[in-house]
Amino acid sequence: MQIADSAFVSKFLVGENCPVIWFVGLSGSGKSTVAKYYVEYLTSKGLACVHLDGDDLRKGLNSNLGFTETERLENLRRAAEVAVLFKNAGVVPVCSFISPTHEVRKTIASICGNSYREIYLKCSLECCEERDVKGHYKKARNAEIANFTGISSPFEVPLNSFATLDTENNSLEICRQQLIQLFEF
């Protein structure tokens, strides 16, 4: 059994002191990759964590929602409510959702309260299209996917994020170290 780093864990208390870490950015910007790494890191420090991912929630809890502006808002509202449930139970929610507009992010922040820590993964549309591991950008460009963020649906660059990680110009390792430093105690 691993013993938790008590000084580190004491900073992540149940309730308002437990952060809701919310990664935002275009598809392909590295949200899920960075979030998975961060969950592993926090777990290694003895914290209970959960990764809430947009793709996973759309397969289950939010499978009845499409991608219109109204449905996206409802998808993210539900995700934020789930994150708060975990936070209140002392489990650090690490969330990776495109969260495309200022309005949507404002709604998420209002649900999560002072615990909300938005981290923007900065990566150009061109770079995300080059990465396109899921083939979504190609399908969106061919009009096979409607309302695709960055192509036929807007993505508004966050104005007031807790932090920005440049995943286009920095290696994953550099982004990992920057992320660790954000919450270093």
Query: Which residues are identified as catalytic?
Result: 99
Residue 141: in which H helix or E strand, if any?
helix 136-141
In our burial notation (b when 16+ CB lie closer than 10 A, e otherwise), range 121-154 reads: bbbebebbbebbeeebbeebeeeebeebbbbebe
Residues 165 and 175: beta-carbon distance below 8 Å: yes
Q: CA 161, 79, 180, 6 torsion: positive or negative? A: positive
Q: CA 73, 115, 52, 119 torsion: positive or negative? A: positive
What amino acid is encoded at 117 in this protein? R
Could you give the count of Cα atoms lying within 13 Å of 1 in the half-sphere of its Cβ? 2
CA atoms of 38 and 112, how far apart (whole Å): 19
Can you tell me whether residue 55 is helix, strand or coil?
helix
